[in-house]
Structure 1
Amino acid sequence: MPLSEYEQRVLEQMERQLTSDDPRLANTLTQRGRRPFGRYALAGTGAVVGLLVLVLGAANSTAWLGVIGFVVMFAAVAFAFAKPRSANARRGPQGTVQPDGAIKPAAASRHHKPGLMARLEERWDRRRGESGR
């Protein structure tokens, strides 16, 4: 069932509000990342090898071998779920969304970014100012 014009306008307005409030979240939600199959195959192989070493350590009553097997299994699973690093990927927000929906690229700045608490306080002050209190 298609959306009515009103529903489409409201949805577009909500999308613009989200991207203006938190551009980093909007970028994260719109990215379509795929991990290569080889990464999962390598992680699966590592997990199986780690499990075999763990079982071998338990069967021979050698605790250190079991610990090594567990560490190998854990590292393989962590590798499978870790975000792959890209050499050319930019960190942080890509830009800001203007009220008309256009994206203004972020200027490359060398100054120190404000901390988490400063950003939260600034957002709080901005929201309190918008509500008229």
Structure 2
Amino acid sequence: MPLSEHEQRVLAQMEQALYAEDPRLATTLKSSASASGHGLDRRRVALGVLGAVVGLGLVVLGVMSQMIWVGAIGFLLMVLGGAWAAKPPARPKLGVVGGDGKGGGGGGGRRGPRGPRPSGGSFMERMEQQWDKRREQGL
């Protein structure tokens, strides 16, 4: 369904605002959207449909030859082929942004050194301490 003229104008205004506010992010998003494409991967769909058709053939063969295990394998192949075809394409992994707003050092998913960890035990205990601190500051 195409966008109305009003929706197209609003979208154009949003794009212009994004370019004005952060041109680097806008160009990155535009290049990654055009590179990744939208929708399903044709190769993945073709392999999934092929697997489902072969699985259906095995189910029919298993019923005709009265070998239940062949039919079960065929059914499993049909289900896996359908799931493989319906799986959306992989999204690119997001990087880490440093404190200066620029991309991290590209450590291959490696995390940098962490700051000192607040004492206080478990996660819930720390959340309760933060809650109490906010309540005291607010009153």
The TM-score normalised by the length of structure 1 is 0.46
Larger radius of gyration: 2
Higher RCO (CA-CA < 8 Å; seq separation 6+): 1
Structure with higher strand content: 1
